[in-house]
Amino acid sequence: MALKELEVKYAAIRSRAYKLTDGGGLHLLVQPNGSKLWRMKYRFAGKEKLLSFGKYPDVPLAAARTKRDEARACLAEGRDPGVVLAEEQDVAERTFEKVARAWHANRVEGLNAAHARRVISRMESDVFPAIGHRPLTEISVTEILAMIRKIEARGALDISRRANQCVSQVYRFAIANGWARENPTVHLLGALKPRPRVKHMARVPLQEVPDLVRAIASYDGEDGSRRRDRTRDAMMFTLLTWARTGEVRFAVWGEIENLDGKQPAWRVPAERMKKKREHLVPLSSQAVLILKRRMELTKVKPGGFIFPGDREETAMSENTMLYGCYRMGYRSRQTIHGFRALASTWANESQSYRSDWIELALAHVEDDTVRAAYNSAQHFAQRAGMLQDWGDYVDACGSPEKDCATSSGVDRNDISDVHERRLGGVDRRGNLRLVQQSVETGDNIIKFPGRSRCGEN
């Protein structure tokens, strides 16, 4: 006989557990401690099995009967309801956060450590609070879009796109493991706000590089010769090495290698690089000369700054070089970071250097598994030749008697000729007078030799 709600509600507590049968295998197990548990006996493949539907009153009589009917329907279809119920429970427990952490753990060893931390931090900050608790297969497109819109609302459009990419990758990982059937992010194509236009750092045209170089060479925009020397040398060194401002500001003598040898280099540690990978910078003869000049003007010790601040033990201020550009009259026209764009344009327009040499010289290395085998010394000889050509070009542009630029800002024939001469085994070093001290006036200035044309000894 079927149970009634009141029978279930007021079932007496006994010293031993007993059952109240409802029919179709469903019964209520009443425990001596007063708990009441729904159970269902059934047979599958010749074996007797038991299902648990939960605790009364959390699961009322009507709900227990519904679960029983669903189980019997599975049996009628030839499926084991116990297996089906376990799968449903797994799905309910397989939340987005749980799967996302499994996805991250699966790939973390192939990622740069800093990048791996940024990825999971982005998920913890923006994604998990919105959909992390939800079962993976129950999350709708609108829920994901709502999460993205919150990020967009604070103006973080790049982060919103990265968050969407991470969610998509989690679903692809889940599909591959059989935990999901579709990726809802594919329906967001066209729904996200477009990326803002990239604002490139200001830089002058290549045709104006000679004026810029001469302005740096004659820089006198600060009180005190020590400050002027440091700022001028730092700007010129940054221009010659294609380095970022922060990399130059915190450069220490212990990072300089083989200064008097055939392959002088500056080894920038990973922690100071944007991509968190060590960067090996070949030093042109002009850059070497600046470093030797700095050795005469600063206290040289392994941990000492090459371009110190007002005190030897502190780094140069963040805006020192930028303000130097302002004092030279280049406000809104040229930034220190824009030096990199000048060098990149020069190298690309010369058509003498491979793009991967240029990208490596700029430390443009992508964060993906394809780049996992990145080697800081890769193409060192080729990059050294390219930076020496650049140093010679800058050296020649510093002469007030020369016109180093064609209509494109580069004398293509001259640069190609230099490149070919180096490949032919001729080491072209310039005349090494990029940095000198004027004995007659007592002023420390950067001087350039007179030449008949750009790039000619």
- Number of neighbours of residue 45 by Cβ within 10 angstroms: 7
Around Cβ 270, how many Cβ atoms within 10 Å?
14
Cα 256 versus chain centre, distance: 26
Active-site position among 118, 161, 162, 337: 337
364 is catalytic: yes
Catalytic residue check, 340: yes
User: Do residues 32 and 13 touch, judged by C-beta distance below 8 A?
Assistant: yes
Q: Where are the alpha helices (DSSP H) in 127-277?
A: 141-153, 157-176, 209-217, 225-241, 245-249
Say which of 172, 364, 379, 447 is annotated catalytic.
Answer: 364
Active-site hit among 4, 274, 299, 354: 274
Question: What is d(CA 415, CA 421) in angstroms, rounded to the nearest whole number?
Answer: 10
Q: Is 104 a catalytic residue?
A: no
Catalytic pick from 27, 36, 203, 340? 340
How far apart (Å, rounded) are the C-alpha atoms in residues 167 and 370? 21
Residue 374 annotated to the active site: yes
What element of type H or E holds 279?
Answer: strand 279-282
H-run or E-run covering 313 = none
Q: Which of 27, 228, 230, 244 is catalytic?
A: 244
Considering just the CA atoms, what is the radius of gyration of the chain in Å? 35
Choose, from 187, 227, 374, 421, the residue flagged as catalytic.
374
Residues with Cβ < 8 Å from 35, sequence gap 6 or more?
A: 55
Distance CA 450, CA 435 (A): 14
Closest CA to 387 of 412, 408, 418: 418
Total residues found in the chain within this entry: 457
- Determine contact, residues 426/420, Cβ cutoff 8 Å: no
Task: Find, among 322, 228, 239, the residue nearest to 284 by Cα.
Answer: 239
Return the active site residues: 244, 274, 337, 340, 364, 374
